[in-house]
Each structure stands twice: as structure tokens, then as C-alpha cells.
């Protein structure tokens, strides 16, 4: 069984987003993949935070995130300046990360809060990944990421889902 982790700042409050993520986790289990999601409580920020308040909040969140990353994990921070990959290229990166030679036993995707991720988290990453140059709500990004992980594993397992 392959372990894929998603560490996300914030909770999925909307039932429909949570149900979508649960559906992809269920589908992934049929492909020999265990999707493990951990939610990190966002740091408090005032209504209009200063740059220093944002930096302090990101550092606080980074401490929590870094403690949750499993040892020997291929780390993928999700960030706007990251690399955009096709589904096929994501499948190839996951295959490469879990090839048994690299020493990785799992893959961990990290989704920050509304202010993004600390440089401390980004710098720990093996691959900075961006879904798009467009901006999406972080809750929707979790659904989109779950779907793309599922799609990547259907490609890896040579299933018909991906077209």
C-alpha cells in the first residue's frame, strides 16, 4: 500500500467538499493507495494583518506542518510559484518519488492557508507544485488535489479514468 499524505491548513467546513475528498480517498484505496489527510489549525490573523503579522502566522503554521511530515517522505508544497505539471507528468513524478531507489516511502502534499506557506515549508519540499496561475479557495484546492492524485494513480495503474 502506498501512503499519500495531504497536510492542509484549515478545516473543510463544507459538507460537499469533505464528501468529494472522501470519495477520492475511497477510490484511491481501490488502487492500493491510502490517502491520509491532516488538518492544521490556522494561526490567528487580524482583519488587515501587517506583513510581520503574516510572517509570524506562517512561521507558527510551519512549525505545526513540519512536525506532521512523515520521515522519508517526498515533500510537495503547493504554491503559486511552483511548477505546473500535466496529469501524466504528475504520475511520472509520483512514480519516480516512490521508485524504491529514492528512499521515499510516502508522498506528502502541503496546502497552506489563505496567506500561503512559510519559506521554511517550501524549502523542505522536493517539488514545489502549482495547480494553476489562477487563485482557488484552499478548500476547493484540496478537492482538486485529491482528484489529481487519483487521476495520477489511474495513469500509473493503467486504468481507464484518465483520457
Each residue's pLDDT tens digit, 8-48 = 999 999 999 999 999 999 999 999 999 999 999 999 999 99
The label of the residue with cell 500509473 reads: 156
- Is 80 exceeded by the pLDDT of residue 113? yes
Domain for residue 81, yes or no? yes
Domain for residue 162, yes or no? no
Q: Summarize pLDDT for 68-98 with one digit per residue, the tens.
A: 999 999 999 999 999 999 999 999 999 999 9
Domain for residue 128, yes or no? yes
Contacts of 36 (CB under 8 A, 6+ apart): 3, 4, 5, 6
Domain for residue 163, yes or no? no
Q: Confirm if 124 and 66 have CB atoms less than 8 A apart.
A: yes
Of residues 61, 19, 60, the one with CA closest to residue 39: 61
Banded pLDDT at 126 (limits 50, 70, 90): very high
Domain for residue 101, yes or no? yes
Q: Confirm if 91 and 33 have CB atoms less than 8 A apart.
A: no
- Is 70 exceeded by the pLDDT of residue 141? yes
| C-alpha span between 21 and 12 (Å, rounded) | 9
CA R_g for the chain: 16
Mean pLDDT, residues 137-160 = 95
Residue 162 confidence (pLDDT):
60
Domain for residue 51, yes or no? yes
- What is the domain extent for residue 48? 2-156
Q: Confirm if 154 and 103 have CB atoms less than 8 A apart.
A: no
Q: Would you report the helix, strand and coil content of the chain in percent, each value rounded to 5?
A: 40, 20, 35
Sheet strand arrangement including 73-83: 33-40, 2-9, 106-111, 73-83, 129-129
Total domains present in the chain: 1
pTM over 0.85: yes
Banded pLDDT at 163 (limits 50, 70, 90): low
Domain for residue 161, yes or no? no
| C-alpha span between 42 and 4 (Å, rounded) | 22
Domain for residue 80, yes or no? yes
- CATH code of 29's domain: 3.40.1280.10
Mean pLDDT, residues 106-135 = 95
Banded pLDDT at 160 (limits 50, 70, 90): confident
Residue 65 confidence (pLDDT):
98
Least confident segment among 3-7, 74-78, 82-86, 136-140: 136-140
Residue 101 confidence (pLDDT):
80
Amino acid at each position: 500500500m502506498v501512503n499519500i499524505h495531504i497536510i492542509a491548513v484549515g478545516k473543510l467546513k463544507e459538507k460537499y467538499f469533505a464528501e468529494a475528498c472522501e470519495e477520492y480517498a475511497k477510490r484511491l484505496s481501490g488502487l492500493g493507495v491510502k490517502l491520509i489527510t491532516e488538518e492544521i489549525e490556522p494561526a490567528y490573523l487580524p482583519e488587515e494583518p501587517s506583513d510581520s503579522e503574516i510572517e509570524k502566522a506562517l512561521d507558527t503554521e510551519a512549525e505545526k506542518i513540519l512536525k506532521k511530515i512523515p520521515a522519508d517522505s517526498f515533500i510537495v508544497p503547493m504554491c503559486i510559484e511552483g511548477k505546473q505539471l500535466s496529469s501524466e507528468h504528475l504520475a511520472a513524478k509520483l512514480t519516480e518519488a516512490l521508485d524504491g531507489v529514492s528512499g521515499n516511502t510516502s508522498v506528502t502534499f502541503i496546502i497552506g492557508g489563505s496567506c500561503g506557506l512559510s519559506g521554511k515549508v517550501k524549502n523542505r519540499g522536493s517539488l514545489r507544485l502549482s495547480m494553476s496561475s489562477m487563485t482557488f479557495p484552499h478548500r476547493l484546492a484540496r478537492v482538486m488535489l485529491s482528484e489529481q492524485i487519483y487521476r495520477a494513480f489511474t495513469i500509473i495503474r493503467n486504468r481507464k479514468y484518465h483520457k
